[in-house]
Amino acid sequence: MIRKKITVLALSTIMIVSSAMPAFAAGDTSTWNSGNIYPQDVMNTELLTPVKYLMDKKIITGDTDGLFHPEKSITRAEFATMMAKATNRTNELEVVAKQNYYDDLAGYDWAKGYINACTKDSLIQGLGNQKFAPGKEVSYAEVITIIIRSKNPSAVGSGTWPDNYIQYAQMYMNSMIADRNITDWSAPATKGDVATMLYRSMPKSS
């Protein structure tokens, strides 16, 4: 297994590199009626269950063309938005959106509150020098790190990132990642894999 270290990324979070409101995982989902329709490209596939669950929870939406495009990557801003919603860090968004943790969020007003909420709770970090790189593709290593931190902030207490988090995931979260066949943890994570891993990490009681 290739475990190529990422030298400049500390942690972060994600979908299409754009300063506009993205269709998947961000902001306003009120126009997406997930009770009536789901993306045709996940119907009759293993992705239907996680995608349907996350759409019903208003954590993600489909793309503007009505499809999901599971092979595409997602951005750090989009993943931060997903994680804030999935972990109920959406209170007082207007308040935290006024914080200036990063100086490169121009054009990302839809995501700033979510990014700041995750940063405030030490779920994510930037790249240093007040940079978050919201349009940068999120990597598998970042995704698994943030998911682990969302479940147990003190789970990984030593070692060098990202190897320490990868090893933890392989030891204790194998059911979440085993069938994803991740060979390069520094590679951009696909929407399909992110949806699957996030779904598996969430409690299903509610």
Task: Please report the pLDDT score of residue 10 as a whole number.
Answer: 36
SS3 content of the chain, % helix, strand, coil (to 5): 35, 5, 60
Q: Decide if 135 contacts 77 (C-beta within 8 A).
A: yes
- Record the pTM: 0.82
Q: What whole-number percentage of the chain has pLDDT above 90?
A: 74
Distance of CA 3 to the CA centre of its chain: 20
Rounded CA separation 16/77 (Å):
10
Rounded CA separation 53/150 (Å):
19
What is the band of 92 on the pLDDT scale with cuts at 50, 70, 90? confident
Task: Please report the pLDDT score of residue 37 as a whole number.
Answer: 80
Picking from 26-40, 122-136, 161-175, 187-201, which range would have the lowest pLDDT averaged per residue?
Answer: 26-40
pLDDT in tens, 57-77: 999 988 889 899 999 999 999
Residue 5 has pLDDT above 70, yes or no: no
- Annotated domain spans of the chain: 48-201
